[in-house]
Amino acid sequence: MEKLSLRLWVRKMTRVVEKEITCIACPMGCKLEIIRDEDKYVIEGYKCKKGLEYGEQELKDPRRIITTTVTVKGGFLPLVPVKTDKPLPKGLIFDLMKVIDGMSIEAPVEMGQILLENFQETGVNIVATRDLPEKILKK
């Protein structure tokens, strides 16, 4: 009995919490723990399959949906809100923001219009999230 308890104690001591994250795959917002257990990773704290999948994705290849704005020339407003149409690998966020920062488009803009296609061969597009008509000049 003591050998078993000692073995469990040693195993518990080799487990290291690498990362604590909040799952955003469903409204429950589970607190996930990514634990290194000897030579493998274990995800704990999820309450549904989506939580496990989110934890695995976050461990292997974290991705994010990016929302920002792009400058518009001749538009009713100076900026149009945009977002990525798919999650972008986290390591490419700053590269994308540099490109977007240098962008300027002409009005009119339609909601859903692709403003930047297939960023760095990732299949991720930047799309407008609202219509933006041309500025009407008064005479």
pLDDT of residue 17: 74
Distance (Å, rounded) from C-alpha 44 to C-alpha 60? 16
pLDDT of residue 5: 57
pLDDT of residue 1: 47
Query: What are the tens digits of pLDDT across the range 31-50?
Result: 999 888 777 888 999 999 99
Ranges of H-type helices in 15-133: 49-60, 93-101
Give domain 67-128's CATH architecture: Roll (3.10)
Q: Describe the strand order of the beta sheet including 31-37 as a list of residue ranges.
A: 15-22, 31-37, 40-44
Query: What are the tens digits of pLDDT across the range 49-97?
Result: 999 999 999 989 999 999 999 999 999 999 999 999 999 999 999 999 9
Query: What are the tens digits of pLDDT across the range 2-33?
Result: 555 555 545 555 567 788 999 999 999 999 99
pLDDT of residue 11: 53
Instruction: Kindly report the average pLDDT of the chain as a whole number.
Output: 89
Is the CB of residue 25 less than 8 Å from the CB of residue 87? no
Length of the chain equals 139
Instruction: Report pTM.
Output: 0.76
pLDDT of residue 2: 54
In the chain, CATH 3.10.530.10 sits at 67-128
Burial class of residue 14 (count of CB atoms within 10 Å of its CB; 0-12, 13-18, 19+): exposed
Q: What are phi and psi of 50, to 5 degrees?
A: -60, -35
